[in-house]
Chain A
Amino acid sequence: MTQDEHTLAELGTIARAADAPPLSSADRDAMIGAALDRAELARPLRSLARRRLAWTAGALAAAAVVLLAILGSRAGPREANALTLASGDRVYTTDGAQIAIEDGSPTRRALRVLEGEALFDVMPLEPGGSFEVSTDELTVRVRGTVFVVERRARTTVVRVHEGRVEIEDGDALVVLGAGESYRSGRARERLADQGALASLGREVAARRSAAARRDAAGAISGPTSTRGLVSGEPPPAAPEHAGNEAAAPTIDANEERTRAERGSSSIAREARGAAWRRDGEPVRRAIPTEATETTSLAHIEALLAAREFSAALDASRAERGWRARMLEAHALVGLERPAEAARAYEDVARSADHARRPEAAYRAATLRSRALGDPRGTLAALDLVSFTGTGLEERALGMRALALDAAGDRDAASRAAQTYLERHPEGGLAGDLRALAE
């Protein structure tokens, strides 16, 4: 142990051993009782009787409110206040809106709209992840979409601009699609008032749709397969979160579509060469047709969507090719086997079609950083491909800077952080990377 490590260890020991000032049981009971009373006071009103809610500074503080209060005139859609969460989700609000972040963990993001209007641009979720927005009237659960929640005078309106959301309103459960609106207590309805963030919502949705079309050109199976790598999920790459239009991918989009429509011709070529002799007789092995392969991969995707990860893993290992390997990696993530999943993604990054390699490499790097705490492994995964011009460029650059710093390479981390800040000054990691760039 170095002297510095000894110093820090001793300081930690001293701090851990220190006792908080003594507190009588009576004082403790009083604190607990007061907390319960204040929490009760802030509960939503269920009865018809009206009483004034005491929005004291203490109650507001207890709600962990993030107040996006901007001085000056009311913000229009292009001047909406923006907040980027650590997860990469973006929240835009109008003046005076009050949002509480209740849970910001990587797998569960939960926010509460206390007052005002907020637009949510949600990152696609990984297996087991969730994103929900609550008000006192209802809860909205999403899987990667663009939507608005507006709460005024104890009424909540939800407007979906892209994707689908699930709304829990008392005993009712409603699924709302793009272009639809919902008012608490009154179900689905067409609202003339589109809200202050309507044009921003359409703009964000349009960017996501454009990105989804680019990603769909490299879809895992043929055109008859389920969209994306997991049924119902939009493609994982989300270039619009860079805060700017992602640069067009370096591969020609027409070429990508042609590849997808031909299906996995590489797998078919492998199978055609598999005839062999047994007992002196030529044996012709069944050649997997494009339709057969498509069906198999679609089946595996369906198993993943149903969270049957063990079955999906077995099925994917029975198939050949980088697409099956990608699904195998997804199944391993679902089974919480991050090391194996990272290796599987890295294999895909080395062998997949050009368009899917960045996604695979980024997923491997994410596992190595988050689940395995391995900065060197993270850097190795990021080095498998070039992210330049892809929708993952911003996040890969930010991840590289942090990994370099965690690995102890301060100079390289500082340079990488500076590059990130030059290209993405408002990016999701800008706050943390400014410290590295100093």
Chain B
Amino acid sequence: MIAVLGSQPGTRRSHPEALDLDGRLDPSVLDRLAQHDRATLDAALRALFPDVRRRMFHMLGPRSDLDDAVQDALVEIARALPRFEARSSLRTFATRIVVRTAYRHFGRAKEQPLELVAVADVVDPESRAASREALRRLYRCLAELPEKRRVAFVLCCIEGMTPAEAAAIEGIPSLVMRSRLSRARDEVLRRLDGDEWLTELIQARGGA
């Protein structure tokens, strides 16, 4: 994603700039970040916001305090941006901070109550209601995992990262991430085993 700073004359954002979240930033943008230029910091946070919120939602699941965690991550990103040296992409830089922030919120469970759905009620496996219920059950399961395995599962199985990419986010060797992921997958399957409703839903989706 590329965000463009405003180019309206007379505004604080007087120079059109491309803020490439995945590529190299213009040196002038890095300079303004280092100088704590509010307009540049604001543009960076706006560009990152959808990613930050989506990733935090994947990390924590459906929780009423989601935006508290997002706020904490934004503060930390805003503090860290002046020291950003473009050794990684802006998106990777922000993702690391999101993951660190998520760790602090894992223990503060404020999850929505699980709505019981009888097996017989699942007539449409693609329905939004069915998907919401499946999501709740998944995150109830993830909440029981050790935090590091939970993060490994989210980054690789939900976010779609390779173990090497996820290891770079966490700052750990790839082998450690593979080990955590392998254990996380086993544990998720074990905990969801016997959940007839979820089993039927997944089978139905597979045949749809």
Is the pair A58, B146 in contact by a Cβ cutoff of 8 Å?
no
Chain A binding site: helix, strand, loop or mixed by DSSP? Answer: helix
A62–B199 alpha-carbon span in the complex (Å): 40
**One of B23-31, B115-123, B170-178 contacting the partner:** B170-178
Given the complex of chains A and B, what is the CA–CA distance between A110 and B96 in angstroms?
A: 13
Cβ contacts A to B, 13 pairs, < 8 Å = A8-B157, A10-B205, A15-B58, A16-B159, A21-B66, A31-B49, A34-B71, A35-B71, A39-B75, A59-B75, A64-B100, A86-B176, A102-B80
Residue on A nearest B58 in the bound complex, by CB: A15
Instruction: Give Cα distance in the complex from A272 to B178, angstroms.
Output: 50
- Say whether B36 contacts A11, CB under 8 Å: no
Taking a contact as CB atoms under 8 Å apart, the answer to whether A435 and B202 are in contact is no
Given known A-B contacts A12-B157, A108-B87, A373 and B42 have beta carbons under 8 A apart: no
Q: Does A399 make an interface contact (CB < 8 A)?
A: yes
Given contacts A103-B171, A369-B174, contact A15 B138 (CB under 8 A): yes
Interface residues of A in 1-37 (CB under 8 A from B): 4, 6-8, 10-12, 14-18, 20-21, 23, 27-28, 31-32, 34-36
- Which residues on A are within 8 Å of B, measured CB to CB? 4, 6-8, 10-12, 14-18, 20-21, 23, 27-28, 31-32, 34-36, 38-40, 42-43, 58-59, 61-64, 86-87, 102-110, 134, 366, 369-371, 373, 375, 378, 399, 402-403, 405-406, 408, 413, 429, 432, 435-436
Bound complex: CA of A31 vs CA of B157, how far in Å? 29
Question: How big is the B interface, by class?
Answer: 35 or more
* A32 close to B45 (CB less than 8 A): yes
CB of B36 within 8 A of CB of A14, answer: no
A38-B75, A370-B167, A406-B179 are known contacts. Are A23 and B36 too (CB-CB below 8 A)?
no
Contact with A along B119-148 (1 / 0, CB 8 A): 000000000000110110010000000101
Q: Given the complex, which residues of B lie within 8 Å of A28, measured CB to CB?
A: 49
Are A14 and B75 in contact (CB-based, < 8 A)? Answer: no
How far, in whole Å, are A321 and B193 apart by their CA atoms in the complex? 57
By the criterion CB–CB under 8 Å, are B174 and A11 in contact? no
Chain A residues with CB under 8 A of B176: 86, 402, 429, 432
**When A6-B206, A8-B185, A406-B179 are in contact, do A16 and B160 touch as well, CB less than 8 Å?**
yes
- Digit string of B10-45 for contact with A (CB within 8 Å is 1, else 0)? 000000000000000000000000001010011001
CB pair B178–A373 under 8 Å, yes or no, is yes
Q: Shortest distance in angstroms between B15's beta carbon and chain A's nearest beta carbon?
A: 19
Q: Please give the residue numbers on chain B whose beta carbons come within 8 Å of chain A beta carbons, in ascending order.
A: 36, 38, 41-42, 45-46, 49, 53-54, 57-58, 62, 66-67, 70-72, 74-80, 83, 87-88, 96-97, 100-101, 104, 131-132, 134-135, 138, 146, 148-149, 157-160, 162-164, 167-168, 170-176, 178-180, 182-183, 185, 188-189, 192, 199, 202, 205-206
**Cross-chain contact B131 with A17 (CB below 8 angstroms):** yes
Query: Which residue of chain B lies nearest to A64 when distances are taken between CB atoms in the complex?
Result: B100
**Are A432 and B179 in contact, with the CB atoms below 8 A?**
yes
Residues of A near B83 (CB, < 8 A) are 102, 110, 134
Complex contacts, A6 vs chain B, CB 8 Å:
202, 206
Q: Determine how close the nearest CB of chain A comes to the CB of B132; give it in whole angstroms.
A: 8
Q: Are B202 and A406 in contact (CB under 8 A)?
A: no
Q: Is A36 within 8 A of B41, CB to CB?
A: yes
**Given the complex, which residues of B lie within 8 Å of A375, measured CB to CB?**
175, 178
Distance (whole angstroms) from the CB of B49 to the closest CB of chain A: 6
**A18 and B135 in contact (CB under 8 A), knowing A32-B74, A36-B78?**
yes
A364 to B172, CA, bound (A): 17
Complexed CA–CA distance, A14 and B62 (Å): 13
User: Hey, which chain B residues are within 8 Å of A109, CB to CB?
Assistant: 171
Which of B76, B162, B185 has a CB less than 8 Å from the CB of A62? B76
Known contacts A12-B157, A105-B88, A36 near B131 by CB under 8 Å: no
The answer on a CB contact under 8 Å between A20 and B54 is yes
B38 partner, pick from A11, A36, A107, A403, beta carbons under 8 A:
A36
CB distance from B163 to the nearest CB of A (A): 6
Which of B62, B157, B160: most chain A CB closer than 10 A? B157
Q: Are A61 and B42 in contact (CB under 8 A)?
A: no
- B72 partner residues in chain A, CB cutoff 8 A: 58, 61-62
Q: How many angstroms between the C-alpha atoms of A34 and B146 in the bound complex? A: 32
In the complex, the answer to whether B168 meets A4 with C-beta atoms within 8 Å is: no
- Nearest CB on A from B50, distance (A): 9
Most chain B Cβ neighbours within 10 Å, of A34, A39, A102, A402: A39
Q: Which residue of B lies closest to A33 (CB)?
A: B42
Q: Whole-angstrom distance between the alpha carbons of A30 and B132 in the complex?
A: 28
The CB with the most chain A CB atoms within 10 A, among B74, B192, B199, is that of B74
